[in-house]
A and B are shown apart, each in its own frame.
Chain A
């Protein structure tokens, strides 16, 4: 069975600082990988996705993520955080027999200090 782990429940950064949110997946083959963000009162918004090819993927809002097969990781990064990035972030995977069905991590709440 697939699983996704986000080790950090809550992260606090200062505005303008760099950000890295961790995500580890467990799956025999290469999964499809996603990062979603949920702002208060909003639905889940897709930031970026990885299916194959270039292991560094660019997303919306200045985010990027890097797929590292050797570490089973798909960490999300942003070079300079804005106060509006404060939200909850979810890593998710899909693939194999779970076709079309996403497996989510526990989520990471990001707080941004001015």
Chain B
């Protein structure tokens, strides 16, 4: 089966611009998660979708970040306007159920650099 796909793999944008990251989960996985790793820090949870609904968005840093999951399939994470501190690696993961014994499958991540 195809894994979790994220694109772009790298993005370099200027401060103030908008960037949209995309995640395609494994087909049939209702749960989709976004995480972020800022340079030198730990990987941190951003939000969790169950199908098209936001189950938990407690990790979203501020209102410059907008996540959507139309139709319960792929998800996008938009940063508008981007700031320097948004630089980092953004990971997406999916699972069949929220039960952790099903396990997560992570994508390779999108490395975002804001200059």
Chain A residues in 8 Å Cβ range of B109: 43
CB distance from B49 to the nearest CB of A (A): 11
Which of A49, A92, A101 contacts B48 (CB under 8 A)? A101
Known: A41-B108, A43-B3, A43-B108. A101 touches B45 (CB 8 A): yes
Tell which of B14-22, B60-68, B71-79, B97-105 binds the partner.
B97-105
A101 touches B91 (CB 8 A): no
Asked if B107 lies at the interface with its beta carbon under 8 angstroms from chain A, I say: yes
Chain B interface residue bracket vs A: 20 to 34
Interface residue stretch chosen among A15-23, A78-86, A103-111? A103-111
Within 8 Å by CB of B100, from A4, A45, A49, A90, lies A49
Docked CA distance A103–B107 (Å) = 17
Residues of B1-47 at the interface with A, using a CB-CB cut-off of 8 Å, are: 3-4, 31, 33, 35, 41-45
Chain A residues within 8 Å of chain B by Cβ, number: 23
Q: Does B85 contact A (CB under 8 A)?
A: no
Docked Cα-Cα span, A107 to B103, in Å, equals 19
Q: Which of B33, B43, B100, B103 contacts A104 (CB 8 A)?
A: B43
The reply to whether the CB of A11 lies closer than 8 angstroms to some CB of chain B is: no
15 interchain pairs (CB within 8 A)? A43-B91, A44-B43, A44-B91, A44-B104, A44-B106, A49-B101, A51-B101, A90-B43, A99-B98, A100-B31, A100-B98, A101-B33, A102-B35, A104-B42, A104-B43
